[in-house]
Amino acid sequence: MTDILKTHTELQAIAKANKQNYSSALPFPHIVFTDFFNPRMLDKVVEEFPDLSKTNAIKYDNANEKKLAGKGEYLLGDVTKTLVHFLNSQPFLEFLQELTGIKETLLPDPYLIGGGLHEIKAGGLLKVHADFNKHTLMHLDRRLNVLVYLNKDWEESYGGHFELWDAEMKAAVVKILPLFNTMAIFSTTDFSYHGHPDPLSCPADKSRKSLALYYYTNGRPESEIAGNAHGTLFKARVNNVADIVAIAPSNEKGKLLDRIIRNITPPLLMKLFAKKEKREL
């Protein structure tokens, strides 16, 4: 297995060499690795990746999200499951702990709530947002995301960049093309705005595939949160009237839409959005 997945010694060396880059990165702590995994393993993960539109995957189709997400481990092939278990293992957790400098003990999510297989097809998107901040089953604080991209022969013109936005929502400070064997790691707070906000323009026979892992702690610095437990916090880009600002359903309350923020979106557009949502429901 050591020729496919990195050893604890290798992981610690990488973490120590990159921890300063991680903590000083803008607009918030993050890092991007290329060719981190053995490509032979990722080739098999790609082969195992199902067409999520033909499964019982979660299907998001609204103004802020047009994407597909697997449920837990149930759609994972054998090699993909091996990779996920490695990413949830002690050596990888200790790698993340050293890399990020998070003081509280990191814990994996074996349930893959919100994580696992993700797929976005042509025309799909995920507007800029900050993530839900509490695990629905374990009630732990969400601290880190790890995203592994699985897209071969992906052209710049297809779009699908993973974007990290400044706190004022004026510009994407970082744009990451979702190329095969690219791994993005970033800290999740109530102010770490990120997403894939513009519709994907890839050919119909392609899709944007990724594997998402989330990590938690019991407690966190108060400076990272703005309030209580919440669902996904969507945020409008400055001067972009196409963005609808909303708070996604709270994981704990299970509401369809908690509230619409009206101080940015023009009233007429809000009325049109409300009518559209009513029709889609």
Helices (H), the chain: 8-24, 39-48, 78-87, 90-100, 267-280
Cα pseudo-dihedral 66, 255, 195, 203, rounded to 10? -10
Q: How far is CA 245 from CA 64, 69, 191, 249, 271, in A?
A: 8, 22, 15, 13, 13
Helix (H, G, I), strand (E, B) or coil at 195: strand
Q: Quote the CA–CA distance of 43 and 240 in Å, as a whole number.
A: 38
Predicted TM-score (pTM) of the model is: 0.87
Residues with Cβ within 8 Å of 2's Cβ and at least 6 positions away in sequence, in order, are none
HEC string for 201-250: CCCCCCEEEEEEEEEEECCCCHHHCCCCCCCCEECCCCCCCCCCCEECCC
Angle made by CA atoms 272, 278, 281, in degrees to the nearest 5: 140
pLDDT of residue 174: 98
Q: Quote the CA–CA distance of 83 and 86 in Å, as a whole number.
A: 5
CATH of domain 8-229: 2.60.120.620
pLDDT of residue 193: 98
pLDDT of residue 260: 35
pLDDT of residue 274: 42
pLDDT of residue 4: 78
**Would you call the peptide bond into 266 cis, given omega within 30 degrees of 0 as the criterion?**
no
Residues 105-120 have pLDDT tens digits of 999 999 999 999 999 9
Residue segments in the chain with a per-residue pLDDT below the cut of 50: 1-2, 250-281
Q: Quote the CA–CA distance of 281 and 81 in Å, as a whole number.
A: 35
Length of the chain: 281
pLDDT of residue 247: 57
Biggest CA pair distance of the chain: 59
